[in-house]
Amino acid sequence: MVSPVLLLSILLASSLSGFALASNLNQDFDITWGDGRANILNNGQLLTLSLDKTSGSGFQSKNQYLFGKIDMQIKLVPGNSAGTVTAYYLSSQGPTHDETDFEFLGNLSGDPYTLHTNVFSQGKGNREQQFHLWFDPTKDFHTYSILWNPKHIIFSVDGIPIRDFKNAESKGVAFPKNQPMRIYSSLWNADDWATRGGLIKIDWTRAPFTASYRNFNADACLWSSGTSHCASKAKAPAVSSTKNWLNQELDLTSQEKLKWVQKNHMIYDYCADVKRFPQGLPPECSVV
């Protein structure tokens, strides 16, 4: 049973999600593909990706980061979005890359989006958790956040934590903490798997499909010339006092919100899939 106060705070967080400070997306991102299907508009206040039968589109951040609290407001493809995927993630490069994923799997009109999350460390992923959100993510912008520090990767929606991937190096599990990552996003055709395992295909008569982005914020450690600016200034009081997220964990209130989301809105957890792991669940699943 969720307390009325907790439920009110969750609903209030969602209702206030459109009031973040604006950023200039021209300064933070480069359009990387799509041949005109991606655009930065309104003097850098809005970015849109679109997908048609010929191509999808995508962008990436100009900067690389090693730890940070990174927020983006996204409004997803409305209507019948079956077969489309809007991916928003951080990733390094190479065969042993690190990655943290938000992927929004489209669906038929009236059915909920599936929010798919995953974490890769040293090239190993297969750590999926999936959710149905408690609101319609196509009606308005909502804030999707990743807090990444040496002990936690916390996924949040409108400030409400939905997943806490904890450092399990003590159990022999690699944790993303040495490779800088860029932010990437793309809108693409995944109708071979995205909706009901590929049973529902894209209805191209509804193209182009469009997702929108605004109010990006990165309170993060920039990576430049092979080093993190946080590391180079680690002894400066200003850095230690303002980078509170570097040591942040979920407090008791946030833990209750996480439990609420996972009880009421999680639809898949690899750490509960004993059929998939008959020899025993992955070691990070036992980290408290």
What does the alpha-carbon distance between residue 165 and residue 151 come to, in Å, rounded to a whole number? 9
Candidates 164, 134, 186; CA nearest to 17 is 134
> How far apart, in whole angstroms, are the C-alpha atoms of residue 119 and residue 49?
24
In one letter, which amino acid is 239? V
Amino acid at 53: K
Q: Please list, residue by residue across 149-167, b when 16 or more beta carbons sit within 10 angstroms of its beta carbon and e when fewer do.
A: bebbbbbbbbbbbbbbbbb
Q: Which tokens belong to 31?
A: 């359009």
Q: 165 φ, ψ to 5°? A: -90, 115
Q: Which residues are catalytic?
A: 99, 103
Peptide bond into 208 cis (omega under 30): yes
